[in-house]
Amino acid sequence: MTTTALPQTDVTNPVLEPPKARRRRFTGRTRDNLLAVATPVLLLALWELLAQTGVIDTRFFPAPSRIFERMLDLMATGQLLDHMLASLQRLFIGFWVGLIPALILGVIMGLSRPVRAAFSPLVSGTYPIPKSALLPLILLIFGLGESSKIVMVAIGVFYPVVMNTMAGVMQVAPIYYDVANNYGASKWQVFRSVAVPGAMPNIMTGIELGAGLGLILIAIAEMVGATSGLGFMIWNAWQLFSVETMYVGLLVIAIIGYLLSVVIGLVARLVMPWRAER
């Protein structure tokens, strides 16, 4: 009787990615990075050309070179930094004020049908209300101080996070909850080890949306009853018809929004290593 030896696999050495695949991935990322930089540069160059040649009205669309000159002036005097720090402080506080209750309520709504039945109509019904339309009521309740601005940000963060968290928890396969229950996991263990990790992709999406909406709302809130912040700077520039300053404020808000997206993306990769970008 003869035996046939099966080929043995060396499990100590991981399977290496083919060089061609590595090169394709590297080339794709390089191309994406170049496009991400080239597109705004080309648009700014076109804008500058149209402004310098008089095709567009520079009273309303000043040349980017004039906008950057104004930005440097505001940076030199420290005004831009002061306004930016004021907005970031309000955004940071309001972000956490809205995030924590949204996460807790979203997970509980996803896990508990009675809680979902009780709160889902309320969340769904109030979500379509334009958040900026709430500003007069919030100012009436909280006054013109910092509280009203923080509440505006918190409201903006709350809705995307609670709705995405609930949806993420409900999308977790029931077998994972069954396994946890069969092993005698407590409700806290199910919450911490099954519901939250399973819903993490949705949670991170909600956080990114909420942070962007919070940034929009803090700019709106600072245009009323504030003496600092990027929103105040834009509104004050409008009153003085300093168009370049208005564009500086808009540009800084755009940069902050982009950086927030990058930071949240990095956090998502840390908490979800299995979803690393291919």
213-226: pLDDT as tens digits = 999 999 999 998 78
Q: What pLDDT was estimated at residue 206?
A: 94
- For the beta carbon of residue 115, count every other beta carbon within 10 angstroms: 15
Q: What is the mean pLDDT of residues 107-111?
A: 90
DSSP, res 194: I
219 is written with which tokens?
Answer: 């700019």
Q: What pLDDT was estimated at residue 199?
A: 86
Answer whether 164's CB lies under 8 Å from 108's CB: no
Task: Kindly list the domain boundaries of the chain, sorted by start residue.
Answer: 65-272
Confidence of residue 181 (pLDDT cuts 50, 70, 90): confident
Q: What is the mean pLDDT of residues 195-212?
A: 90
Q: What is the mean pLDDT of residues 135-159?
A: 93
DSSP, res 149: H
Q: Is the pLDDT of residue 276 over 70?
A: no
- First-to-last CA distance in the chain? 49
The class level of CATH for 65-272 reads: mainly alpha
99 is written with which tokens?
Answer: 């995030």
